[in-house]
Structure 1
Amino acid sequence: MAVVVIAISYTSKASSKLDDHQWLIEFIEKNEIVPIRNEPKLLDAQYELGQALFFEKLLSTNKDTACSTCHLVNSHTSDSLRKAIGAGGHNLGALRIAGKDTEPLDRNTQALFNLDNNEVKNLFWDGRVEVDLQGPIKFLTPLGKHIPLGLENALAAQSLIPIISNSELKSHTCYLVGREQNYCKKLYESFESVNESIWNLAYLSFIQHRLIGHSDNKDLSSIQKKYRKLFKLAYPNKSNFTASDLANALARYQEIAFATRDTPWDKFLKGSESISDTEAEGARLFYGKYRCNNCHSNTLFSDFDFHSIGIVSHKKDKSIDKGRFEITGNLKDFLKFRTPSLRNVTLTAPYMHDGSIESLEQAIGKHFTGCALENDYYEVCIETVFKYKEIIQPNEVLKLIAFLKFLEDKSHIIDDDIVPFTVPSGLGIDDLIPASANKIK
C-alpha cells in the first residue's frame, strides 16, 4: 500500500523527472525494500543501568575514560578523529590528544547506530566479534572460550572488548591510590604473563568488583551500593551479578539510544514523506548505475562482509594493518575491512578504517581510484581491491550525497533521555555539550 501511495503522489511530475522517481518506486517494489523496524523506545531498568555504565569512567583502569569518551553523543557516537584516543587522553572530540605514555589507537572510531539489528553478524573493522551459530559459545571474540556465559547478543559481546583492550579503557599501568592501587598493581603483576583470555577475565572481575563489590555485600562503598541497586532493578531475579549483566545492560542502552527510527528514507518507504528530484537521482545512481547496494545492502546499507577499496595503512608499531586477515589468517582477507553502514554516514567524518579520508566526496571518489601506484603494497593491493571500471562525475557525487543525507536521523542529539545528568561515581560525563547545559533532572 505504501508503494502505491508513493507512486500516486508523483503522477503529476514532469516526465523527465518522473523517470527517476518511477524507476526508484519500481525498484523498491521489485526488491521488496522495507523501512527499518521501529520498535517501542522502552526505557526500562536495564536501559537505566546501561546508560550509567556507558558514561561511567569507573569502567576504565584509571577512572579517566568512558565508552562515551570516544563515542560522543553530540558527535554522532564517534569522535571526529582519524584514529581514536582512549585511556590517558585529554580533551574531547577533535581536540583530544594522547597523554603521557599513550598514543592513538590503530583505527578510526566506528559509530554505534543500529548495532542490535539482526542483520549485524559481526562487529569492529576486522570482525573480531561475530555471531557463531554453529559453535557452543555463540560468539567469537578475543576472549575465546573464556567468554562469560549469559550474553544476550553480539552487541553485548562487543561491549566487553573495549574494557579489556589496552589503550581503550584498560591502561598499561595503574595510577590509582590506596588499596585499589595495591590491588590493581598486584592484579597486573600476577596475570600479565599468563594466558591473555584468563588475564582479561580477571581484569573484568576487577572492574565488576569496583562497581558492585563482592557478592557477600560487606563493606560496600556508597558508589557500590548505588550500582548494586541499579543492577538489582535491572535483573530482579538475580542476586549475584557477572560481567555478562554489565555487557547486556550496555547493549540495551545502545540499541535503544542509537536506533535510527525516523529517517526521511524510512518515512518515504512508508509513504509519509516525499523525495526530491536530486535525492531520487542519487538513489538511482546508488541502486542502479553504480550498484552501491551490492555491498551497502539491506535496511542498514551494509552486507557486513569484508572488502578492500585500496587503502593501505600502518599501525602505531609501523606494521601494515592487514584488516580481516589478522582474524582469519586467510590471504583472501588481506587488506579487507568490514562494510560500514551508511545510516548517518553523512555525520561521522572522517572515513575508512584509518580515518584517512576527510570528506564524503573523497570517500566516494576513493571507490573509483583503487590502489595507489606509489604504495609498497601495490601488487598485493590490486589482488584484493574492489574498484569501479568507470569514473564517477562530480555532479553525480553530489546527487549520491543528497541521497545519503536522506538516511540521516539526529534524534540521538535531541532526545532528553540519552545523556544522563550524572552517574553513580560522580565522575564527569564526557560529551561535547555537558548534560547540565540542556537537561534538568
Structure 2
Amino acid sequence: MVRIFALCLAAFVTTAQADEAAPAPELPRPLRDADFRPVNETEAALGQLLFYDKVISGNRNIACASCHHPRFGTGDGLALSLGEGGIGLGPDRVADPNNMPEQRVPRNAQPLFNLGAREMVHLFHDGRIEVDPARPSGLRTPLESEMPAGFDTILAAQTMFPAISPDEMAGHYGENEISVAVRKGDLTGPDGAWALIARRVSSIPAYLQMFAAADPEIAAGRPISFADVSNAIAAFMEVEWRSDDSPFDRHLSGETPLSGDALAGLSLFYGKAGCSECHSGPLLTDHQFHAAGAPQLGPGKGARFERHARDEGRMEVTGRAADAYRFRTPPLRNVAITGPWGHAGAHDDLAAFIADHAAPRNAPWPQDAVLPALPGADDFAVRDDDAERAMVLGSVARPDVTLTAGDVALLVAFLNTATGDSAKAGRLGIPQSVPSGLPVDR
C-alpha cells in the first residue's frame, strides 16, 4: 500500500512539474459593458411580466418561462420539452391525458444567458435566425422577404417563432384563433397569428399603460405590434440573464485567480483537451457550426410528412450537404446548470457528456433520457438504426480525444467556475402575478 501511494505521489509530482513547465494558455479577454447592448429598463420591466404571462400562447396555458425557467438554468431540465399538451413544470412536466401533445419539441430548450451580447449573431441550434445587414430587416430568418419590420435585435426576432410553433406555444389545429391562423400560414397579415397575439396583449389595460410608458409612439396612439411584445421580452432577457460575474470572470480580470482542480481544468480546456478550438472567446463559443456526433433522439427535425427521425442541423438552413449534422457551438457560460446537454438533450450528466463529446465515435449512446412518457413516441429510432447512427458519426471531422476520468473531473471543476453569481436567480426575478391574471409558473 505504501509503495502504491508513493508511485501515485510521484506521478502527481511529475504531472505538476510538467504543468508548471507548460506555457500559460492564451485566455480570452474579460467581458466588458461595451460587449452588451444597452437596455431600456422600463421596457425590461414590462418584458419580465410578458415572459411569465401565458396570455401570449394560443391556449393561454404556456409562457416563455414554461420551457425557460430560472429554476432549471433557464431551460426546463428535460431532454426535449413538452410544450402544448404538457402540464407541470420542469422534469415534473407530463403529457396532459385530456390534451395529448402531437409530438415532443424536437430540440433541447436552449439556455438564455448572455443573449444580449453584441457578438451573438446566430440563434437557435441551427442558426436559422442570424444577423444579415444585406437584408432589409437586418436579419435572415425562415420568413425571408416576409420578415416584418420593427424588431430591435436578433433576440427580439427569435422570440416570435416559439409563439407560432404548434408544438411549443400556438396549440393544435382548431384549438384557438392563433393556432388556426398558423395552420393557414397567416402569420403577418392584419388577422395573422402575430397580430392576434398583439391584440390580446393590447386588450389588457395594465399592459397598454406600460407600453405607453415605455414607447412614446405607443403613447401617441400607435397600436401595439407583436414586434413591440418581442422587443420587451428580449429586453428583459438581456437584463435578467447577463452573466459576467463568475469565478472565471474574476480570474480573467486578475481579481481572484483560480487554483487547484479548477486551474488544472482550465489548463486542460485550453490545452491538450482541445475544448477551446471551438469554445473560444469571452462567451466560450466560436459562433460556428460543427458536427460533433451528439446522439439524436426524439421526433427529429424533418417536415411533418417525413417519416425519419433524424436532425440534420445546419443543413436544414443552408441546404448544403457539407452542413449535415452541424450545430451551433453553444456558449459554455453557466453550462454546469443548464443540463441536459446536446442538441437533443441526450445526456443528463455533464461528466458523461464531456467524455462522450470528446470521443464520440466510440461512445455508447444513452439508453434513456429525461423524457416524460408520451404514448406512441419512438424516441430512440436513430439510436437503434445502425445506418442512421453511422451517418451522424460519419459527419464528425475532428479526431477523437481520449480523456481519463481524472481529466473529465478537472474539466467539470473548471466549467463550474463559469457559473455566474447572479445566474440562477436572475436580477428581476419571478413576478408574483401578471396583468392577464393567469397563473405564474414558480
TM-score when normalising by structure 2: 0.82
- Deviations along 1:169-212, whole A, 9 cap, x unmatched? 1101454xxxxx6xx2xx6657734x465479810100100110
1:80 to 77, 82, 100: 77
Q: CA deviation at 1:230?
A: 1.0
Of residues 207, 211, 222, the one that matches 1:227 is 207
1:97-136 matches, within 5 Å, as: 97-99=94-96, 100-102=99-101, 103-136=103-136
Q: Aligned partners of 1:76 and 1:368: how far apart in 2?
A: 24
* Cα distance between partner residues in 1 of 2:278 and 2:191: 36
Aligned counterpart in structure 2 of residue 242 of structure 1, from 213, 225, 228: 225
Distance 1:408 1:377 in 2: 36
SS in structure 1 at match of 2:130: strand
Instruction: Kindly provide the CA deviation profile for residues 318-364 of structure 1, in whole angstroms up to 9, marking residues without a partner as x.
Output: 43111111111110111111111111111111110111111111111
Pair 1:391–1:169, CA change in 2 (3 A): same
Q: CA deviation at 1:136?
A: 2.2
Kindly provide the amino acid, as one letter, of the partner of residue 131 in structure 2.
Answer: V
Conserved 8 A contact 1:21-1:277? no
Show CA shifts across 1:100-148 (max 9, x none): 2313211111100001112211111111111112222211122322222
Matches within 5 A, 1:252-267: 252-267=235-250
SS at structure 2 position matched to 1:361: helix
Q: In the aligned structure 2, how far is the partner of 1:421 from the partner of 1:190?
A: 32
Q: 1:252 to 1:295 in 2, by over 3 A?
A: same
Provide the rounded CA distance (Å) in 1 between the counterparts of 2:235 and 2:182. Answer: 31
Matches for 1:286-435 after TM superposition, within 5 Å:
286-316=269-299, 318-371=308-361, 375-414=386-425, 417-431=428-442
Q: Are 1:51 and 1:253, in contact at CA under 8 Å, matched by a contact in 2?
A: yes
CA distance 1:109–1:335, shift in 2 (3 Å) = same
Q: CA deviation at 1:22?
A: 8.4
Match of residue 216 from structure 1: none
Identity %: 31
1:275 correspondence with 2:273: no
Matching residue's letter, 2:142: P
On the 8 A contact 1:36/1:261 being kept in 2, the answer is yes
Is the CA contact 1:305–1:338 (under 8 Å) kept in the aligned structure 2? yes
Question: Structure 1 199/323 Cα, relative in aligned 2: closer, same or farther at 3 Å?
Answer: farther
Offset, 1:63: 0.5
Q: 1:232 to 1:357 in 2, by over 3 A?
A: same
Partner of 2:369: none
Unaligned runs of 5+ in 2: 1-12, 300-306, 365-384
Q: Is the 8 A contact 2:171 2:179 kept in 1?
A: no
Instruction: Tell me if structure 2 keeps the 8 A contact 1:49–1:230.
Output: yes
User: Alpha-carbon deviation of 1:45?
Assistant: 1.0
One-letter amino acid matched to 2:110: Q
Stretch moving more, 101-110 or 196-205 = 196-205
The letter of the residue matching 2:122 is N
Q: In 2 relative to 1, CA 228–197 (structure 1 residues): closer, same or farther, beyond 3 Å?
A: closer
* CA distance 1:83–1:414, change in 2 (3 Å): closer
Task: Indicate conservation of the 8 Å contact 1:75/1:348, yes or no.
Answer: yes
Three-state SS of the structure 2 residue aligned to 1:27 is coil
Separation (CA, whole Å) in 1 of partners of 2:427 and 2:141: 34
Equivalent position amino acid for 1:101 in 2: M
State the shift of 1:380 in Å.
Answer: 3.0
State the number of aligned residues.
394
Q: Is the 8 A contact 1:52 1:423 kept in 2?
A: yes
1:86 match: secondary structure: coil
Aligned residues of 1:258 and 1:412 also touching (Cα < 8 A): yes
Q: How many angstroms does 1:365 deviate by?
A: 1.2
CA distance in 1, matches of 2:330, 2:71: 20
- Give 1:381 deviation, angstroms: 3.1
Conserved 8 A contact 2:67-2:81? yes
Equivalent residues of 2:181, 2:187 under 8 A apart: no
| Deviation for aligned residue 1:38 | 4.0
What's the C-alpha RMSD, in Å, of the aligned pairs? 2.6
Equivalent-residue separation in structure 1 for 2:246 and 2:182 (angstroms): 48
TM-score, normalization: structure 1? 0.82
Paired letter, 1:342: L
Instruction: Report the residue type matching 1:340 in the other structure.
Output: P
Distance 2:181 2:104 in 1: 27
| Cα distance in structure 1, aligned partners of 2:405 and 2:255 | 31
> Does the 8 Å contact 1:156/1:244 carry over to 2?
yes
The equivalent of 2:92 in structure 1 is 95
